[in-house]
Amino acid sequence: MRLLLIEDDPMIGKAVREGLRSAGFAVDWVVDGRSAEASLADPGYALALLDLGLPSQDGMQLLRKLRAGGATLPVLIASARDAVGDRIAGLNAGADDYVTKPFDLDELIARVHALLRRHAGAANPLQCYGALVLDPLQRRVTLRGTEVALSPREFASLEALMRRPGAVLSREQLEDAVYGWGDEVGSNAIEVHLHHLRRKLGAEAIRNVRGVGYRVSELT
């Protein structure tokens, strides 16, 4: 899943980006309000992490614009503004959660997972579809109770498909979910990941809907 990190502090931004990457997320990082606004127009993000004190446009202003435009993207504010009034204002402006700096990185990641889960309408941390079970926290997949070893990109491809079980995702949507800016993406990279997934999970696991994209099958 691809996240947008909006943070002007280079040390914090770097640490958060690395933490999220090692948790398996693709992360795009912007350092000012104006580029954040431009990036938020991209519908490919699963969640935004929003700092409030930013050059060129304040985070609260960005958030209000985002919600006024009808965007449902989950937003987690991470700010040094720790007064109760600031936290209330952030949540009331449409943020889904608010953490104050300094925060614990593991807790931040746990909150990201919780927000993504709720946004997908799920309460169970495990994503289950037929005989397939995907654990986004442990980054494990089991098929009929047996663990299947996947590469990080294979896992990310399957996770994107399993977030919307039965729905057809285009190659571009899968690329958006699996890769961040600056990642090298070969022209047939997604096809290669899906080919490996089929080899490991069975040919019927991933369906190719010709000319449209791919969907995950409900395996028995």
Contacts with Ca ion, residue ranges (CB under 5 A): 8, 51, 53
* Residue among 53 and 152 whose Cβ is closer to Ca ion: 53
Q: How far is the CB of 8 from Ca ion (least distance, A)?
A: 4
How would DSSP label each residue in 46-115? SEEEE-SS-SSS-HHHHHHHHHHTT----EEEEES--SHHHHHHHHHTT-SEEEESS--HHHHHHHHHHH
CA distance 41 to 220: 39
CA distance 74 to 46: 7
* Residue among 1 and 77 whose Cβ is closer to Ca ion: 77
What residue is closest to Ca ion based on CB?
53
State the amino acid at position 158 in one-letter form: L
Is the torsion defined by CA of 149, 153, 12, 86 positive or negative?
negative
Q: How far is the CB of 54 from Ca ion (least distance, A)?
A: 6
Question: At 142, which helix (H) or strand (E)?
Answer: strand 140-143
CA distance 121 to 42: 22
* Residue among 70 and 102 whose Cβ is closer to Ca ion: 102
Q: How far is the CB of 7 from Ca ion (least distance, A)?
A: 7
* Residue among 20 and 133 whose Cβ is closer to Ca ion: 20
Q: How far is the CB of 51 from Ca ion (least distance, A)?
A: 4
* Residue among 5 and 134 whose Cβ is closer to Ca ion: 5
Q: How far is the CB of 110 from Ca ion (least distance, A)?
A: 22
